[in-house]
Structure 1
Amino acid sequence: MNKVIRIGTRDSELALWQAKTVQAALQKLGHQTQLVPVKSTGDLNLDVPLYEMGITGIFTKTLDIAMLTGKVDIAVHSMKDVPTALPKGIVEAAVLKRANTKDILIHKGTEFLEAEGTIATGSLRRKSQWLNRYPNHKVVDLRGNVNTRMQKLEDNDWNGAIFAAAGLERIEIKPENFIDLDWMIPAPAQGAMLVVALEKDEFTRTAIGALNHHQTDLEVHVEREFLRTLEGGCTAPIGALAKIDNDDILHFKGALFSLDGSQKIEIEKRIAVDRVAEFGKFCAEEILAKGGAELMKQIKEVLN
């Protein structure tokens, strides 16, 4: 079958970089491809309500709809933005090799770290961890694609803003004035790219499957299992990082924070790679037993 694989993408610089990276890899394997820019959900003619499709991800919704309505064959996402439950009919086809997992602080001078300051981020996870470490600082909301957020930082009198290193490195806009936040636990699957396809499209799933990076796939699924068990469909300040070392041991670190950063429940464990089945769930259940269940209840009451 000589099928052209249509790659759905939003038009941000990072989204295009990710889509073109997958396009180049597929073409190297001999497949024909086509990039298909997808506009906002308002531009799509829908016959079925979103809730009936089971679509929840704010960053992935547009591409999910385009796939389910037959406009594209695959979509490429920053995996940390993808809900742990995919819409009915859409499946994970490949996880690409992971890039930098760290969060970084882009700053205008670091003197404020020892005093009062204002940091910008749209992430509950980043906000909670920052306030946990710097309780006297103020955290303001920051939204938009990476280019927009970088410009907003420049235009405002904030001391700094927090970004995922991978996104800035991919489109080569990482400035010199940054600090690696080694102490901050990243979002589950941060630095990884996920390609999704229709479950019924065997040709495309097979083609994309050749791009899967086994180690990254295993690591991020432990992290996302941890997330799924903890959150139960609710957004919460959750960090998780799993890494396999040379001895086939998986090192996992995860944490749940209160919204104001005053509470932190964390776990750190190691396990043999051949025993990782349900390990993320096990770690999450330990967090829940250590006070996480009550903390999640409080978070849901505030956010819902």
Structure 2
Amino acid sequence: MTKVIRIGTRDSELALWQANTVKSALEKLGHKTELVPVKSQGDLVLDKPLYEFGITGIFTKTLDIAMLTNEIDIAVHSMKDVPTALPKGIVEAAVLKRAHTQDILLHKGTDFLNSRGTIATGSLRRKAQWLHRYPDHNVVDLRGNVNTRLQKLEDNDWNGAIFAAAGLERINLKPESYMDLDWMIPAPAQGAMLVVAKEDDSYCLKALSALNHEKSQICVHLEREFLRTLEGGCTAPIGALATIEDNNIYFKGALFNIDGSKKFEVEKSIPASERAGFGKACAEEILRSGGAEVMKDIKNSIGRIQKN
């Protein structure tokens, strides 16, 4: 049996780039495809921080519904936006080869770093890490797709804004004036693209299996296992990065409180063959060292914000 694979995607420039990358890869393998762009609630409502929505998967929920109602066959996501628990009936079909994992600062000059400044980001993780390093700075909320956020940075008197390097590189918008934030731990699965399909769709699952990059899949799974163990379904300032070198896995993860004043970090390595449960073990170490109380405070703080 052959069929046209309907590819669901958000309609931002970056999301379309990702979807077209999957489209081209599938067509090179001989499959017929069609793009089906949709808008998510996260794209439509830009005046609230993401954690105020009170649900996980704000950028993926619309595509999940479209898939379960048979409007699309597969969906392409930035993997860091995908909840660690997929909806019933939807499964991971492929993790593409991971791109640049790092965060970068787009700025209008760096003199402010040694005094006071204002940085923009819509990410609790980035905000907490920035304030941990620069506690005297002000961090303001920045929402929207990449193009919208770039325009807002230009239109406001902020000193800079934090972006994922991979997103800017993919759509050729990475400027000359930026700073690598090599000290900032990325979001779990940052730089990775995930394709999901229906659990009972054997045709799409087989087609997509050819696109899977095993090393990337191993690393992001460990990072998301770390995230899942820590967060329990709550948005929190959590960073994680796993890499594979010479058959060893190197892992670095951290949990911050919302204002960045507290940091709990773990850094470990293990033979790749012994990786089962490694992400969970790293998270449990953080929880035992005081992270459990921080997670409780974060959940209470976000709950109060959502009620107001």
TM-score normalised to structure 2 length: 0.93
Per the TM alignment, residue 9 of structure 1 is displaced from its structure 2 partner at its CA by 1.4
Equivalent residue for 1:195?
195
In the aligned structure 2, how far is the partner of 1:39 from the partner of 1:239?
27
Deviations 1:258-290 (A, max 9, x none): 100000000000000011011000000000000
Equivalent residue for 2:87?
87
In the aligned structure 1, how far is the partner of 2:133 from the partner of 2:224?
25
Equivalent residue for 2:174?
174
Contact 2:244 2:272 in 1 (8 A): yes
In the aligned structure 2, how far is the partner of 1:282 from the partner of 1:72?
37
Aligned residues: 290
Deviations 1:106-142 (A, max 9, x none): 0000000011000000000000000000000000000
In the aligned structure 2, how far is the partner of 1:63 from the partner of 1:188?
21
Equivalent residue for 1:29?
29
In the aligned structure 1, how far is the partner of 2:8 from the partner of 2:243?
30
TM-score normalised to structure 1 length: 0.94
Equivalent residue for 2:112?
112
In the aligned structure 2, how far is the partner of 1:137 from the partner of 1:38?
37
The residue identity in structure 2 corresponding to 1:125 is: R
Deviations 1:228-265 (A, max 9, x none): 000001110000000001x1000000000010000000
Confirm or deny that 1:9 pairs with 2:9.
yes
Confirm or deny that 1:303 pairs with 2:295.
no
Per the TM alignment, residue 38 of structure 1 is displaced from its structure 2 partner at its CA by 2.0
Q: What secondary structure does 2:62 align onto?
A: helix
Per the TM alignment, residue 56 of structure 1 is displaced from its structure 2 partner at its CA by 3.6
Change (3 A) 1:17 1:68: same
Which 5+ residue runs of structure 2 have no aligned equivalent? 42-54, 304-308
Deviations 1:132-174 (A, max 9, x none): 0000000000000000000000000000000000000000001
Equivalent residue for 2:164?
164
Confirm or deny that 1:18 pairs with 2:18.
yes
The residue identity in structure 2 corresponding to 1:107 is: H
Contact 2:56 2:234 in 1 (8 A): no
Q: What secondary structure does 2:119 align onto?
A: strand
Which runs of at least 4 in structure 1 moved beyond 4 Å after TM superposition? none
In the aligned structure 2, how far is the partner of 1:287 from the partner of 1:157?
38
Per the TM alignment, residue 62 of structure 1 is displaced from its structure 2 partner at its CA by 1.1
Equivalent residue for 1:227?
227
Equivalent residue for 1:273?
272
The residue identity in structure 1 corresponding to 2:275 is: V
In the aligned structure 1, how far is the partner of 2:266 from the partner of 2:118?
29
Deviations 1:63-105 (A, max 9, x none): 1111011000000000000000111100000000000000000
Deviations 1:45-64 (A, max 9, x none): xxxxxxxxxx8410111111
Alignment of 1:31-180 (within 5 A): 31-40=31-40, 56-180=56-180
Equivalent residue for 1:292?
291
Equivalent residue for 1:208?
208
Per the TM alignment, residue 2 of structure 1 is displaced from its structure 2 partner at its CA by 1.3
Per the TM alignment, residue 39 of structure 1 is displaced from its structure 2 partner at its CA by 3.8
In the aligned structure 2, how far is the partner of 1:8 from the partner of 1:296?
34
Task: Give the CA RMSD over aligned residues.
Answer: 0.9
Deviations 1:22-52 (A, max 9, x none): 00000011111111122447xxxxxxxxxxx
In the aligned structure 2, how far is the partner of 1:283 from the partner of 1:214?
22
